[in-house]
């Protein structure tokens, strides 16, 4: 049976691994090794010269991690993937693979706070300018573009605004210019399929819904294999000009025998090699365990979050519920176009009593955990303005959708009656 015919529920259990050829073990083994015995000096030289593909050193690749990479590639409908040690590393490498000092990237303003910081400060300090634009107007990406623009960047279902990004519209602006759209699909795995809408690269924090268990930090970059990096060589010099950091390799030429994977091969052989944010084999195993149940979990997260959104909208203390089900107009149309099979597990709300009521609500929760995370099997709550987004200025917070009274919930897999009961008692206790 060809992989194309398989459904997500099957891919997460089968892609990339069948059984250990020596022992018959069905569960993917944890190859907890740093290095790999070369067969000969010729074999070693061929591996380093990329004449042969194989294991060299776990910073650059590992067989357990490879299973995760293959499985996520199949699930996403891409060509190849690179797993890394966190979602942050995935976002950073996704850009650094093709942009260097003097280049720029155009990004949606609607970002996770950590990504905002990476873009507004750390990448800027490295000479890569990130130009933030309002994603409700796709043409803003075109207006911010110049000859040094190397990529567009956005989140599918941006946490915390939860207004779905116009993937197809912005991808279509970039393609004729040779500019790939990089999409962070962390909040909508399975539900959204960015490659089907023209995105070139997908990144995830696998720490969240993909792992689901809240035990392991990880990230992944998936190359759609659907972008013509050669069409505009002056636009993408990192892949089209000789790379001094790899014997002058011209990546689009060097990888031709392997496939349309120049971008992800450079991410591995240059960025991961040099900066070293490798995923540990144990975490790769843990993330594989979580991934096996992702289709079931994301459906239940979505079902429970929808019920919470409906319930909150009936409570008089709640002035606003932020969830795709509550949106109208273009935002609603985008949610319907891009999210299939559920609206995700995240939602936000504002209380009439503002920031103080929000803090009282969180302190009163008993079932929900008060943590800086999303996508765990357990229900989670946080007050972004004083935590995840606290390093942003007040204007930056508002640009990313964080008002002072905003409370973010990541709805878990508990019974919906227990979730609603905890919310109700906390709202009562907050006296908002
Ligand atoms: N992208 C999104 C949308 C996130 O929510 C997060 C973390 O919250 C990240 C990236 C960063 O991921 P990590 O914490 O695994 O580095």
CATH number (domain holding residue 255): 3.40.640.10
pLDDT at residue 392, rounded to an integer: 77
146 and 14 in a common domain = yes
User: Which is the closest atom of ligand 1 to the Cα of 206?
Assistant: 15
Q: How far is CA 86 from CA 45, 69, 219, 415, 430, in A?
A: 31, 14, 4, 30, 35
318 and 240 in a common domain = no
311 and 279 in a common domain = no
Q: Is pTM beyond 0.95 here?
A: yes
Residue 173 scores a pLDDT above 90: yes
pLDDT at residue 1, rounded to an integer: 45
Rounded Cα–Cα distance for residues 162 and 313 (Å)? 16
305 and 259 in a common domain = no
Residue 15 scores a pLDDT above 60: yes
153 and 108 in a common domain = yes
314: CB partners within 8 A, 6+ apart: none
pLDDT at residue 275, rounded to an integer: 98
Residue 2 scores a pLDDT above 60: no
* CA 393, 395, 399, 400 torsion-angle sign: positive
311 and 284 in a common domain = no
Rounded Cα–Cα distance for residues 350 and 370 (Å)? 17
35 and 163 in a common domain = yes
pLDDT at residue 396, rounded to an integer: 82
22: CB partners within 8 A, 6+ apart: none
DSSP annotation of 81: E
Q: How far is CA 261 from CA 66, 81, 221, 237, 248, in A?
A: 15, 9, 12, 15, 18
* CA 369, 155, 100, 394 torsion-angle sign: negative
State the virtual CA torsion across 33, 52, 85, 181 in degrees, nearest 10: -170
Residues 298-339: pLDDT tens digits? 999 999 999 999 999 999 999 999 999 999 999 999 999 999
The CATH code of the domain that includes 335 is 3.90.1150.10
Residue-averaged pLDDT of the chain: 95
Determine the average pLDDT of the residues in 12-25.
97
- Which of 186, 215, 409 has most ligand 1 atoms within 8 Å of its beta carbon, as the pocket-test mutant? 186
Determine the average pLDDT of the residues in 72-80.
98
The three-class DSSP label of residue 354 is: helix
In contact, 427 and 317? CB cutoff 8 Å: yes
Residues 208-254: pLDDT tens digits? 999 999 999 999 999 999 999 999 999 999 999 999 999 899 999 99
Residue 251, sorted as left (phi over 0), alpha (psi -120 to 50) or beta, turns out to be: alpha
Give the domain range for residue 56: 3-289
Determine the average pLDDT of the residues in 127-151.
98
346 and 282 in a common domain = no
In contact, 141 and 416? CB cutoff 8 Å: no
* Distance in Å, CA 274 to ligand 1 centroid: 22
DSSP annotation of 192: -
> Could you tell me how far CA 50 lies from the centroid of its own chain?
28
Determine the average pLDDT of the residues in 362-371.
96
Using the 3D structure, point to which of 274, 289, 304 is the last residue of a domain.
289
**Ligand 1 atom 15: residue of nearest CA:** 87
Ligand 1 residue neighbourhood (C-beta within 6 Å): 86-88, 91, 112, 114-115, 155, 159, 184, 186-187, 205, 207, 217, 219, 374
Using the 3D structure, point to which of 268, 289, 310 is the last residue of a domain.
289
pLDDT at residue 432, rounded to an integer: 59
Using the 3D structure, point to which of 256, 289, 322 is the last residue of a domain.
289
Which residue is associated with the tokens 């996770």?
A: 112
Determine the average pLDDT of the residues in 51-64.
95
Determine the average pLDDT of the residues in 121-149.
97
Query: 3-state DSSP helix/strand/coil percent for the chain, to nearest 5?
Result: 40, 15, 45
Domains held by the chain: number: 2
305 and 276 in a common domain = no
383 and 244 in a common domain = no
Q: How many CB atoms lie within 10 A of CB 259?
A: 13
Which residue is associated with the tokens 């209380």?
A: 351
More confident of the two residues 281 and 358: 281
pLDDT confidence tier of residue 159, bands split at 50, 70 and 90 = confident
Determine the average pLDDT of the residues in 379-402.
84
């Amino acid at each position: 049976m060809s992989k194309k015919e398989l459904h997500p529920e099957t891919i997460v259990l089968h892609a990339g691994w069948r059984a250990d050829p020596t022992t018959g073990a069905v569960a993917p083994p944890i190859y907890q090794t740093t290095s790999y015995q070369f067969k000969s000096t010729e074999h070693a030289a061929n591996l380093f010269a990329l004449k042969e593909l194989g294991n060299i050193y776990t910073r650059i690749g590992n067989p357990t991690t490879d299973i995760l990479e293959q499985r996520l590639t199949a699930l996403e409908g891409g060509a190849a993937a690179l797993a890394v040690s966190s979602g942050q590393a995935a976002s950073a490498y996704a850009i650094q693979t093709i942009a260097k000092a003097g280049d720029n990237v155009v990004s949606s303003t609607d970002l996770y706070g950590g990504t905002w910081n990476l873009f507004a400060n750390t990448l800027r300090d490295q000479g890569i300018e990130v130009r933030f634009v309002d994603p409700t107007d796709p043409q803003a990406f075109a207006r911010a573009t110049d000859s040094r623009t190397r990529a567009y960047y956005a989140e599918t279902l941006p946490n915390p605004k939860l207004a779905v990004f116009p993937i197809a519209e912005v991808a279509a602006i970039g393609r004729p210019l040779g500019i790939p759209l990089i999409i962070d699909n962390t909040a909508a795995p399975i539900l959204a399929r960015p490659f089907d809408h023209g995105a070139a690269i997908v990144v995830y924090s696998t720490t969240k819904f993909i792992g689901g268990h809240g035990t392991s930090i990880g990230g992944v970059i998936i190359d759609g294999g659907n972008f013509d990096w050669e069409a505009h060589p002056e636009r993408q010099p990192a892949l089209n000009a000789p790379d001094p950091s790899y014997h002058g390799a011209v990546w689009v030429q060097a990888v031709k025998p392997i496939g349309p994977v120049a971008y992800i091969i450079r991410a591995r052989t240059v960025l991961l090699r040099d900066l070293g944010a490798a995923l540990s084999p144990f975490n790769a195993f843990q993330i594989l365990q979580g991934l096996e149940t992702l289709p079931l979990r994301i459906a239940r997260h979505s079902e429970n979050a929808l019920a919470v959104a409906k319930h909150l909208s009936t409570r008089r203390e709640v002035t606003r519920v932020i969830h795709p089900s509550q949106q109208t107009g273009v935002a609603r149309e985008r949610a319907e176009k891009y999210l299939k099979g559920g609206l995700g597990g995240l939602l936000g709300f504002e209380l009439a009593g503002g920031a103080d009521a929000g803090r009282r609500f969180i302190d009163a929760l008993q079932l929900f955990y008060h943590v800086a995370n999303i996508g765990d099997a357990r229900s989670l709550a946080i007050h972004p303005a004083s935590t995840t987004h606290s390093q942003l200025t007040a204007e930056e917070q508002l640009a990313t959708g964080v008002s002072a009274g905003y409370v973010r919930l990541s709805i878990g897999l508990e019974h919906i009656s227990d979730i609603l009961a905890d919310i109700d008692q906390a709202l009562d206790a907050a006296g908002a």
